[in-house]
Structure 1
Amino acid sequence: MSSVGIKSELAQLLNGQNVHTQLSVPQLVEKVLSRKEGVLTTSGAVRAETGKYTGRSPEDKFIVDEPSVTDKIDWGSVNQPISSEVFEKLYSKVVSYLQEREEIFVFKGFAGADEKYRLPIQVINEYAWHNLFAHQLFIRPTGEELTDHESKFTVISAPGFKADPAVDGTKSETFIIVSFERRIVLIGGTEYAGEMKKSIFSVMNYELPEADILSMHCSANVGAEGDVALFFGLSGTGKTTLSADPNRRLIGDDEHGWSPNGVFNVEGGCYAKTAGLSYEKEPQIYNAITFGSVLENVIVDPESRAPLYDDTSLTENTRAAYPIQAIDNIVEPSIAGHPSVIVFLTADAFGVLPPISKLTKEQAMYHFLSGFTSKLAGTERGVTSPEATFSTCFGAPFLPLPAARYAEMLGKKIDEHGVQVFLVNTGWTGGSYGVGKRMNLAYTRAMVQAALNGELDNVETTKDEVFGLSIPLHVPGVPDEVLQPIKTWDDEDAYRAKAKELAGKFKDNFKKFDHVDKSIAELGGPAVK
């Protein structure tokens, strides 16, 4: 099928009598309730359930192997190729399926807050609550922008359409397929709304570097003097907690681009985890969940309809989607200057990484490529002791291009803008998980604050003997003995053995980056041989 044929089918779908385009939040909420897709809660949010898929389906995610991208994509278990023929047949089936629905819903908006680099998108949904999700997560156009809006990428989501692997060439009933030439994301067989958000992020992770813009899976905020900070970190490292600073304004909580002009948010909303959510722990998120927000898989009291955030019996992955404007302390539009500080967050359950250390450019590139944190005992079946977990560039599932592309861009920008980079361990101290204790949050906040304020730029440091990291000898508000891990352990030999064990895991993981400059491993990796 030619591109003309694809566009013709899409035009027929969008011109159907069953199409609702750009409904308002109240209209979408009414549709969600009248169609019995969800229920209204005491917070004003609608709650929907996603069925058996309560998270992403990475094994069912594909990129169409097309001439213009085949030599650029980092093919493998993350970026699985699928043929144009398979895509076209599925596309026609999904379009026909949606044409037969009583109603479908269309949202038009943008990915990318910077008008110079934003991507006009449209999202076509079988479900009203999915369209409400898209309305809250992507950037909403003004009336004038909507008049001139011309979509450059289309997401088509049909959860009720189940693929037949034997006929359709998929691995299961579920599929998430990106076609860069046809400019379409095709999603079927899953009700998990996060697939739409992350598919567009994957698209931006291809599009932005092609325009010489670094795409990043991180949060960002800005101080009163315009100083910008980026926070990278995997789940459980404290990224949301530490970037939500009452003295700094939020640029965005998850996805950003770094252009020649500075940093911009890719999204127009937030997709926050809600397991254990309370006003006392996370007041910004708690207060943001109001009318028009979407609660995903959150248990609600059947009588009062109050969200029960502590009840994770359905899934641990309960979430809330809301517009970024629901947060009080934000930058609007979500654009700021060049970062002066980058913080890599890790929760080291081995208890051997320093609570804060300064990184050289090579070390920054090394730890960016490594994307380390720990998986704790008890969090997954079969995990009986802490396990090292590595996610390339802190976002491996969403990177279509080779990792070296992103790391090289980061190194170049660190040089260009004189960025200070810090590795902050929010994990364990004084021993491994089960022996030591979790890093004191007040100390971590003090260390991050000192880094953001420039108080650590020229401080005296000592070199960590295993990892080669520069550890500040003094940080305001933090006891000196806390700063050096070896001094917090009762047994220095036990510390060295555990540190060398983790260093070995770093080195083993880094072997897959044989395509990056060897100086990154030599100058940025652990010091021990």
Structure 2
Amino acid sequence: MSLPESALAGTGVTSGSTVHANLTAPGLYEHAIRRGEGRLSADGAFMAVTGVHTGRSVQDKFVVDDPEVHDQIWWGKINQPMPPERFRGLRSKVQAWLGARPVLFTQDLYAGADPAHRIKVRLVTTNAWHALFARNMFIRPPVEDLTGFAPDFTILHAPEYEANPAEDGCRTSTCIALSFAAKTILIAGTSYAGEIKKSIFTVMNWLLPAKGVLPMHCSANQGPAGDTALFFGLSGTGKTTLSSDPERSLIGDDEHGWSDTGVFNFEGGCYAKVIRLSREAEPQIWDASHRFGAVLENVVADARGNLDLNDGSLTENTRSCYPLEFIPNTMPGGRAALPKNVVMLTADAFGVLPPIAKLSSAQAMYHFLSGYTARVAGTEKGLGKEPQATFSTCFGAPFLPRHPEVYGKLLSDLIDRHGADCWLVNTGWSGGAYGTGSRMSIKVTRALLRAALDGSLAKVEFETDPFFGLQIPKALPGVPAEVLNPRNTWADKAAYDRTAADLVSRFEKNFEGFSGGVSEEVLAAAIRAAA
């Protein structure tokens, strides 16, 4: 359909091209296959290969240094400033480039399931499969809402356009530039679809704190009794896996807001990491990824389209994107009650953190600001044999435009106002560090979580860990007692003590930058070496 005027309204793109507006999955499939954008799996999922960029280009992300936002931005390596005039120049080039394409695809979508905090998003892209990705990931408005749709933010998506660093103020030919003043996002020189998703998450992280709403990089679900649980965690910690529980209803797997009236999903889909995905351990994600409508990024298949989810030859960051309704037990409407439990996940490859610990509200804010996990070879390219400690503030530093303390204070205030039990859960190693110990059993983790979420774990007797100051349960029915205290799982207790002391020093060093911006209570809860 040729709808250049209405479909491109508010984007600055003028075109006599064919513009396909708000096509549904079958139409986008047809165009993507005909245009050679990818192929189908044996089960009907659309398979795309993103080329040189198989993950986010963190070093190529910029925030426009508009005067009205300058004092509120957390400037640094994550939010690199781009002068407004450079942005305007690059935007004009991208608009002209898009306008010269013979075919464009647009999607009008919502971000935010709560109408009180929702934004309207318009995507303009050159590829049908990117339009399908956005349609899967964001909330699809009813047809009647599309008439006169006026976007709050526009994404100009030009994956094949190459920026000029000398002229455009960027680092390479790849550039992701976000202007809060112009309400526009430019994505150039990368086909990795996650940039579309995360750019809008960054927007929500900017807008909501001013309204007293905490934007969160977390998954969320609700139990049969109406109890809501939040799961914070970096990639590889099990955030998506643990929230996809057949016994609980999924609210969403990645991005949510917490207001004084409850929790709401920002998205209408899931973006699951599927490298070495097990049908036995994760049946819901498996089934959602093996059907028509799913988008698979950089997943390897044979000539007949049979998937090999163990093949990381293109990247370890293989992904599946599918609508929420592909998961059988999802919360209708993407909204739920105030959370009763807040779970912070870490995959501790050093093997010294307990499988579960109860946190005070001050400890919760400390671990929220710390955002700790440890990565190992096999989860990310470029890592050596030794575990690498990673601290990502608020479990989502790359997407925080404001100073971290803003989000930490919001979390603390919401916990204090509404009450919630807080837990630190280690999905990493036990019995030794990576290479010596073994990965925590998913069955044990699920058993511990169920006890935490149904309230029974809060009633058992706890002991204080001497290294991290954490409250560890002494015993829990159905879980081997020696697993609960990590030191007991190590054959070499002296090696445990050395490794734990080393991780304590890493926590201390990481938190130095926050010491002046948090309360005395949080400082007292901080992990520090024994005097």
> Normalized against structure 2, the TM-score is what?
0.95
Give 1:518 shift.
4.6
Give 1:98 shift.
0.9
Over the aligned positions, Cα root-mean-square deviation in angstroms equals 1.8
> Normalized against structure 1, the TM-score is what?
0.95
**Counterparts of 2:11 and 2:309, CA distance in 1:** 42
Q: Classify 1:483/1:278 alpha carbon distance in 2 versus 1 (closer, same or farther; 3 Å).
A: closer
Q: Which amino acid aligns with 2:487?
A: I
Is the Cα–Cα contact under 8 Å of residues 430 and 485 in structure 1 kept in the other structure? yes
**Counterparts of 1:323 and 1:381, CA distance in 2:** 32
**Counterparts of 1:480 and 1:277, CA distance in 2:** 29
**Counterparts of 1:10 and 1:116, CA distance in 2:** 22
- Residue 143 of structure 1 corresponds to 143
1:348-427 aligned at under 5 Å gives the runs 348-377=348-377, 379=379, 380-381=381-382, 383-427=384-428
Is the Cα–Cα contact under 8 Å of residues 108 and 149 in structure 1 kept in the other structure? yes
Give 1:22 shift.
0.9
- Match of 1:116, SS state, is helix
The answer to whether residue 59 in structure 2 is matched with residue 59 in structure 1 is yes
- Residue 492 of structure 1 corresponds to 493
Is the Cα–Cα contact under 8 Å of residues 220 and 251 in structure 2 kept in the other structure? yes
- Residue 433 of structure 1 corresponds to 434
**Counterparts of 2:366 and 2:508, CA distance in 1:** 10
Give 1:10 shift.
4.6
The answer to which of 26-35 and 429-438 deviates more is: 429-438
**Counterparts of 2:44 and 2:378, CA distance in 1:** 35
Q: Which amino acid aligns with 1:135?
A: R
1:164-183 aligned at under 5 Å gives the runs 164-183=164-183
- Residue 521 of structure 1 corresponds to 523
Is the Cα–Cα contact under 8 Å of residues 352 and 498 in structure 1 kept in the other structure? yes
Gaps of 5+ in 1: 1-7
- Match of 1:321, SS state, is strand
1:170-319 aligned at under 5 Å gives the runs 170-289=170-289, 290-302=291-303, 304-319=304-319
- Residue 506 of structure 1 corresponds to 507
User: For residues 190-236 of structure 1, what are the alpha-carbon distances to aligned partners after superposition, in whole Å with 9 as ceiling and x for unaligned?
Assistant: 11111000000011111111111000001100001100001111122
Is the Cα–Cα contact under 8 Å of residues 357 and 471 in structure 1 kept in the other structure? yes
- Residue 111 of structure 1 corresponds to 111
Q: Classify 1:293/1:198 alpha carbon distance in 2 versus 1 (closer, same or farther; 3 Å).
A: same
- Residue 345 of structure 2 corresponds to 345
1:148-159 aligned at under 5 Å gives the runs 148-159=148-159
The answer to which of 54-63 and 384-393 deviates more is: 384-393
How many aligned residue pairs are there?
522
Is the Cα–Cα contact under 8 Å of residues 133 and 321 in structure 2 kept in the other structure? yes
**Counterparts of 1:228 and 1:47, CA distance in 2:** 34
**Counterparts of 2:301 and 2:493, CA distance in 1:** 50
Percent identity of paired positions between Structure 1 and Structure 2? 51
Give 1:79 shift.
0.3
Is the Cα–Cα contact under 8 Å of residues 161 and 188 in structure 2 kept in the other structure? yes
Is the Cα–Cα contact under 8 Å of residues 467 and 528 in structure 1 kept in the other structure? no
Q: Classify 1:242/1:10 alpha carbon distance in 2 versus 1 (closer, same or farther; 3 Å).
A: closer
- Residue 3 of structure 2 corresponds to none
Q: Which amino acid aligns with 2:526?
A: G
Q: Classify 1:286/1:443 alpha carbon distance in 2 versus 1 (closer, same or farther; 3 Å).
A: closer
The answer to which of 40-49 and 67-76 deviates more is: 40-49
**Counterparts of 1:297 and 1:491, CA distance in 2:** 41
- Residue 4 of structure 1 corresponds to none
**Counterparts of 1:272 and 1:14, CA distance in 2:** 36
- Match of 1:482, SS state, is helix
Give 1:466 shift.
1.2
User: For residues 67-103 of structure 1, what are the alpha-carbon distances to aligned partners after superposition, in whole Å with 9 as ceiling and x for unaligned?
Assistant: 1110000000000000111111111111111111101
The answer to whether residue 345 in structure 2 is matched with residue 324 in structure 1 is no
Gaps of 5+ in 2: 1-7
Is the Cα–Cα contact under 8 Å of residues 363 and 525 in structure 1 kept in the other structure? no
Is the Cα–Cα contact under 8 Å of residues 54 and 317 in structure 2 kept in the other structure? yes
- Match of 2:510, SS state, is helix
The answer to whether residue 147 in structure 2 is matched with residue 122 in structure 1 is no
User: For residues 237-267 of structure 1, what are the alpha-carbon distances to aligned partners after superposition, in whole Å with 9 as ceiling and x for unaligned?
Assistant: 2222221111100000010000111101100
